[in-house]
Homo-oligomer: A and B are copies of this chain.
Amino acid sequence: MRDVALLARVSNKTVSNVVNAHPHVHPATRARVQQAIDELGYRPNLSARGLRSGRTGVIGLAVPELRQPYFAELADAVIAAAEARNLSVILGQAGADRAHEMNVLAHGLRQTDGLLFSPERLGTEDRDLLHDVEYPLVMLGERIFGGPTDHVTMHNVAGARAAVEHLLGLGRRRIAVVGAHPDHRTGQLRPSDLRVQGYREALVAAGLPLDAGLERAVAPWHPENGADATRELLASGVEFDGIFALNDTLGIGILRALGEAGCRVPDDVAVIGFDNIANGQFTLPSLSSVDPGREEIAETAVAMLVERIESGTRTPQTPRLHKAAFHIVARESTGGSGRRA
């Protein structure tokens, strides 16, 4: 910077003002400085800027595991949204480990101005931990509701209800749900409970009975577990002509188990999932799903975090809860058009 200043015959600070697009710099001076910058290939030292200004220009994103497609796609969207604001993203994996998540929460990720945090092991019962957080924080996902921070999530109940209504619209009347929490309680705010709630609402609204034999508990949501639950469902002798998978990963396992058993999809059984991961486009048959608005979630979360960072308030006066718009993607597993979404 010193060299640039000497070459352009201005002070250090004027170079800084040019770099930071400060308003009151004479156009001629600005041009001279800019030329010197280009000539010398000067790039500001971000550590020094971070030290002086207290901002690093980096935000953290903590997810359980990047190998889960949902989180990889979320990270993809968050990085894109951050880049549009000229921010970098440091990624942390908490590995679905409670101690690790508490540690991340206690200090944020190193070197960052704020954190987007999607916990897996921490739940609403740990909500109070969020009060102690001393940095800008926006929560993602379904694990913790009602905390003191901004929160961006999806329409679990309404999305699930729409998914089931989609099956009902195809004339299905015996609809199973796979992925309920082993100890389901309607009052809970876990995504599984919310989605089960949406499932029930849809049935009730259609005047259909609730049948406990159609609600299958699965934990965790892995394809093999979805497949196992489907095999049990088939073995139980309960009749069904539709399955609502509480997420696509389960749905992939379900399609697999149905295929093995010789069930035709969607003819015998229609299947719809939740999350709209890229992969659902390429199963056989392709998997219908609820698109939870991932881009909107990423965009909104980054925007809220930036707002907190810039306002300097750790905790919002009134915490905001944003639920992204969802929509149904009808693919082959519910008789949709198939090939492309």
Interface positions of A (Cβ within 8 A of B): 43, 45-48, 50-51, 56-58, 65-67, 69, 72-73, 75-76, 79-80, 83, 88-93, 107, 109-111, 223-224, 227, 252-253, 255-256, 259-260, 278-279, 281-284, 339-340
Copies of this chain present in the complex amount to 2
The answer on a CB contact under 8 Å between A56 and B66 is: no
Q: B282 touching A223 by the CB < 8 A rule?
A: yes
What is the minimal beta-carbon distance from A327 to any residue of chain B, in angstroms?
A: 19
- Of the candidates A56, A66, A107, A260, the one having the most CB atoms from chain B within 10 angstroms of its own CB is A66
A-B contacts, 18 of them at CB < 8 A, read: A43-B107, A46-B111, A47-B47, A47-B50, A47-B56, A65-B76, A66-B79, A69-B69, A72-B75, A83-B93, A88-B111, A89-B90, A90-B91, A111-B111, A224-B281, A227-B282, A256-B282, A256-B283
Could you tell me if B88 and A88 are in contact, using CB atoms closer than 8 angstroms?
no
* Chain B residues in 8 Å Cβ range of A67: 72-73, 76, 278
A107 contacts which chain B residues (CB < 8 A)?
43
- Whether the Cβ atoms of A224 and B91 lie closer than 8 Å is no
* Complex contacts, A89 vs chain B, CB 8 Å: 90-91
Contact B224 A282 (CB under 8 A): yes
Interchain CB contact under 8 A, B224 and A339: yes
The residue in chain B whose Cβ has the minimal distance to the Cβ of A48 is B51
List of B residues within 8 angstroms of A90 by Cβ: 58, 88-91
Distance A109 CA – B82 CA, assembled complex (angstroms): 14
Closest residue of chain B to A259 (Cβ to Cβ) is B284
Among candidates B47, B51, B88, B252, residue contacting A109 with C-beta atoms closer than 8 Å: B88
Q: Are A51 and B45 in touch, CB under 8 angstroms?
A: yes
- CB <8 Å contact, A75 and B66: yes
Residues of B within 8 A of A58 (CB): 90, 111
| Residue of chain B at shortest CB distance from A73 | B67
